[in-house]
Amino acid sequence: MRDDGEVSPEMNRADHAAGSPSGQLPREALEPTAPEERGVEVSRGMLAFAGVIAAAAGVVLSQAAASALRSDSSPVEAVAAAVRDLTPGPVALFLIHLVGSADKPLLLGGTAVVVLAICGYAASWMRRFPLAPDLVFFVLAGVGLIAVLRLPRPGIAASLALMIGFVTWIITLRLLTAPLLGEVPGADAENLRRRDFLIRSAWVVGGAAVLTIAGRVAGGGRRQVEQARRLLRLPVHHGEIPVGASIGVPGIEPWRTPNSDFYIIHTALAPPSISPQDWQLRIHGMVDREITIGYQDLIDRSLTEAWVTLCCVSNEVGGDLVGNAWWSGVLVRELLAEAGVKPGANAVLQTSRDGWNCGTPLAALTDDRNAMLAVAMNGQPLPLEHGFPVRMVVPGLYGYVSATKWLVDIEVTTFEKFEAFWTQRGWSEKGPVKTQSRVDVPGNGATVKAGSVRLGGSAWAQHTGIEKVEYQLDGAGWKEAELGRVPGEDTWVQWSASVDVEKGEHRVVVRATDKSGYPQTSVRTDVVPDGASGWDSHPFDAG
């Protein structure tokens, strides 16, 4: 997105260059009469404007074509994905992992803005260099082609969409600039040029809008998948919240996270639209028999169901990139047993439809922790954003090394043979979750009524389990909190305590001890490379 800032100021400069005293355009500057000089000035800015509109029309048409042709990605998305993949680790971390869902509009919008700016700038030089924009279009299309070809599933559709965008650029720019560059006789020439130009621009914008809608209607990939999802009737349960798990402290996060509130983290610019009929999972690599399995095959097997708390490695201390749901799916170890894992393997490389990948210790998929290929979340088919139709859920590991959404490929292998997406960007190869606890109430900096106050929050150490949670009020000794009753080791536990506070400022600190006997460390570490540590604490006021 850095280019943004560089290109636009130059564009402004270009717009004003013709009028500048230094006279960057000597040929025009030599022309004697005032009106014509003004005409040149106007058309330089207008040429840039024409370039931007032509570029936008091309981008919009290529998007429409991509969607009509049901391409997985449009050319702009392909370029944005390339920018994402080439972004150095620390910046990518910020952009993709921490900005969360805001990174998608940022990346896509930024890519589009840079393209428009470059095209506008190139078009502003058309009077002196008539082929300048064509050359720039050609180079941009070349970049687009490289980006399209490095997609996880490069296809005819995306290349065709790119071609359509390129041709639109060339034709639209000529169409728009004809009145600006052609000879128009008469005293009123400038106004006529302008009027003709504006009329043509309006046609282009209107046409692009109509074709966008047509593209949506013709494609409708996402809508069809949404529909297929709605019509699915899976033999799964909604998951009754176990008695005692929810301790009913007002203001605390619910023990079950509703699907609509569940945090979303992924690098995909848009969730891939995969209909259940099209979904296939390939299990291969160091196995005796390669397996390919379809959706119906999968859900016809015996389904396993469990409460599992999922959390993100980039969750800060006290953060909310953690959620708890009732998952339904098929045990991974059963599928792996069917394929027959060869001796020597220690890892599974999981790949999603959109090309993201992660490496999971084989042991975590075959031991007693019931790692599953989940098809439902809280009794509903997975929402598209959470990996529809099939994702992996592995208790005790951060999502970035285990929880592949839109999963299509499982390769049994060894860690020495690959480096996964986030590992290449400086994150740890293995990602067991760290024992954590959080204060929910009183809220950070909240004001409560002096007297009896309820403290509460949650603590998690998936697949180890929480032994106890302690809190400290205003630096006094640690006291044990009451815990909710949980069905196993794989979920978070709610904690609460009642305290008496006087008027004034207070601070509550929380720490958990897990069932391995490990007390949560007070040492604060950053989320990179393997998850944050440290105690959560909230100041609050009693009034």
Site string for Mo ion, 231-270 (x = CB under 5 A): ----------------------------------x-----
Does 92 help bind Mo ion (rule: CB under 5 A)?
A: no
Identity at 176, one-letter amino acid code: L
We find the least distance from the C-beta atom of residue 90 to ligand MTE, in angstroms, to be 16
Does 399 help bind Mo ion (rule: CB under 5 A)?
A: yes
We find the least distance from the C-beta atom of residue 320 to Mo ion, in angstroms, to be 13
Closest-approach residue to ligand MTE (CB):
399
Residue 221 or 431: which CB sits closer to Mo ion? Answer: 431
We find the least distance from the C-beta atom of residue 462 to ligand MTE, in angstroms, to be 13
- Residue whose C-alpha is closest to residue 268's, from 181, 391, 431: 391
We find the least distance from the C-beta atom of residue 384 to Mo ion, in angstroms, to be 18
**Residue 489 partner contact from Mo ion, ligand MTE, none using kind-dependent CB cut-offs of 5 to 8 Å:** none
We find the least distance from the C-beta atom of residue 355 to Mo ion, in angstroms, to be 17
We find the least distance from the C-beta atom of residue 99 to Mo ion, in angstroms, to be 13
**Residue 460 partner contact from ligand MTE, Mo ion, none using kind-dependent CB cut-offs of 5 to 8 Å:** none
Residue 41 or 530: which CB sits closer to Mo ion? Answer: 530
Q: How many helices (H) and strands (E) does the chain have?
A: 13, 19
Residue 50 or 269: which CB sits closer to ligand MTE? Answer: 269
Does 427 help bind Mo ion (rule: CB under 5 A)?
A: no
- Residue whose C-alpha is closest to residue 419's, from 358, 335, 507: 358
**Using an 8 Å Cβ cutoff, are 386 and 377 in contact?**
yes
Residue 82 or 312: which CB sits closer to Mo ion? Answer: 312
Instruction: Spell out the residues 6+ positions from residue 330 whose beta carbon is closer than 8 angstroms to its own.
Output: 298, 299, 301, 302, 303, 304, 372, 373, 375
Longest dimension (CA), the chain: 91
DSSP track, 190-219? HHHHHHHHHHHHHHHHHHHHHHHHHHHHHH
User: Alpha-carbon distance 91 to 113, whole Å?
Assistant: 20
Residue 400 or 471: which CB sits closer to Mo ion? Answer: 400
Phi, psi of 49 (to 5 degrees): -60, -45
For the chain, what is the radius of gyration of the CA atoms?
Answer: 29
Tell me the β-bridge partners of 470.
Answer: 480, 511
User: Alpha-carbon distance 101 to 212, whole Å?
Assistant: 24
**Residue 262 partner contact from Mo ion, ligand MTE, none using kind-dependent CB cut-offs of 5 to 8 Å:** ligand MTE
Residue 433 or 509: which CB sits closer to Mo ion? Answer: 433
Identity at 67, one-letter amino acid code: S
**Using an 8 Å Cβ cutoff, are 315 and 321 in contact?**
yes
We find the least distance from the C-beta atom of residue 537 to ligand MTE, in angstroms, to be 24
We find the least distance from the C-beta atom of residue 350 to ligand MTE, in angstroms, to be 8
We find the least distance from the C-beta atom of residue 271 to ligand MTE, in angstroms, to be 9
Q: Considering only the stretches 395-403, 416-424, 432-440, 491-499, report the one whose residues sit in contact with Mo ion under the rule CB under 5 A.
A: 395-403
Instruction: Spell out the residues 6+ positions from residue 356 whose beta carbon is closer than 8 angstroms to its own.
Output: 266, 267, 268, 404, 421
Phi, psi of 195 (to 5 degrees): -65, -45
Residue 140 or 358: which CB sits closer to Mo ion? Answer: 358
We find the least distance from the C-beta atom of residue 528 to Mo ion, in angstroms, to be 12
- Residues in contact with Mo ion, counted by CB under 5 A, come to a total of 4
**Using an 8 Å Cβ cutoff, are 402 and 470 in contact?**
no
We find the least distance from the C-beta atom of residue 310 to Mo ion, in angstroms, to be 9
Locate tokens 């006290």: which residue?
318
We find the least distance from the C-beta atom of residue 333 to Mo ion, in angstroms, to be 24
Instruction: Spell out the residues 6+ positions from residue 518 whose beta carbon is closer than 8 angstroms to its own.
Output: 435, 461, 464
Closest-approach residue to Mo ion (CB):
312
Within 331-390, the residues that bind Mo ion by CB under 5 A are none
Residue 68 or 371: which CB sits closer to ligand MTE? Answer: 371
Does 118 help bind Mo ion (rule: CB under 5 A)?
A: no
Residue 172 or 360: which CB sits closer to ligand MTE? Answer: 360
Length of the chain as a residue count: 543
**Residue 405 partner contact from ligand MTE, Mo ion, none using kind-dependent CB cut-offs of 5 to 8 Å:** ligand MTE
Residue 269 or 453: which CB sits closer to ligand MTE? Answer: 269
* Helical segments of 96-254, H only: 103-124, 132-149, 156-181, 189-219, 221-231
CA 85 from chain centre, in angstroms, equals 13
**Residue 352 partner contact from ligand MTE, Mo ion, none using kind-dependent CB cut-offs of 5 to 8 Å:** ligand MTE
Residue 403 or 512: which CB sits closer to ligand MTE? Answer: 403
DSSP 423: T
Residue 268 or 330: which CB sits closer to ligand MTE? Answer: 268
What is the crossing angle of helices 103-124 and 156-181, to 10°? 40
**Residue 356 partner contact from ligand MTE, Mo ion, none using kind-dependent CB cut-offs of 5 to 8 Å:** ligand MTE
Within 298-327, the residues that bind Mo ion by CB under 5 A are 312
Residue 365 or 403: which CB sits closer to ligand MTE? Answer: 403
We find the least distance from the C-beta atom of residue 206 to Mo ion, in angstroms, to be 43
Residues that bind ligand MTE (CB under 6 A): 262-268, 310, 312, 352, 354, 356, 386, 399-400, 403-406
Does 400 help bind Mo ion (rule: CB under 5 A)?
A: yes
**Residue 386 partner contact from ligand MTE, Mo ion, none using kind-dependent CB cut-offs of 5 to 8 Å:** ligand MTE
State whether the Cα torsion 380-386-388-392 is positive or negative.
negative
User: Alpha-carbon distance 207 to 215, whole Å?
Assistant: 12
Please provide the distance, in angstroms rounded to a whole number, between the alpha carbons at the two ends of the chain. Answer: 47
Binding site for Mo ion (CB under 5 A): 265, 312, 399-400
